[in-house]
Amino acid sequence: MGGMTTPPNPYGPTDPYAARQQQMSPGEEKTWSILVHLSGILFPLLGALIGYLVLRDRGPFVRAHTATALNFQITIAIALVVGYVTSVILIGVLILIAAYILNIVFPILAAVAVNRGQWYRYPVAFTFVR
């Protein structure tokens, strides 16, 4: 009886899709961390979420910063929802203004800290992702 034979691997001896992602250099980790933090200004939540999902296994520095940025963006998203819901009263408008200002200022401060090679933690962020 002839057994089934597996066809040869078209990718060679190792399948690049099955291999673990390669670690980044410290310079690449720094660059991507800066971009993920700043992406929250233009693409709130989306930029940090994509950055976290794509880069989290590429190095400890970039993982910590993408998780931190994602936690901050989730916190800002919650603040925006609360602000919109309570906008019929004055407090909602104040929450919205504060959330928009914080979403500009803190990612810039985070990017500056990353550029110096420092770890950064947003002062107003809940921890959802580690």
pLDDT digits (tens, 9 = 90+) for 55-97: 999 999 999 999 999 999 999 999 999 999 999 988 999 999 9
Q: Cβ distance 109 to 125 under 8 Å?
A: no
Under 8 Å between Cβ of 124 and 79: no
Global model pTM greater than 0.85? no
DSSP annotation of 120:
-
CA 67 to chain CA mean position, Å: 5
Question: Highest mean pLDDT range out of 1-5, 7-11, 21-25, 105-109?
Answer: 105-109
Q: Give the separation between CA 70 and CA 30, rounded to whole angstroms.
A: 16
Read off the pLDDT of residues 104-117 as tens digits, 9 standing for 90 and up: 999 999 999 999 99
Tokens, residue 84: 């919109």
Q: What is the pLDDT of residue 48?
A: 95
CA of 22: how far to CAs of 16, 46, 50, 68, 117, in Å? 11, 24, 18, 22, 21
As a whole number, the mean pLDDT across the chain is 88
By three-state DSSP, how is residue 80 classified?
A: helix
pLDDT in tens, 116-125: 999 999 998 9
Lowest average pLDDT, out of 16-20, 33-37, 103-107, goes to 16-20
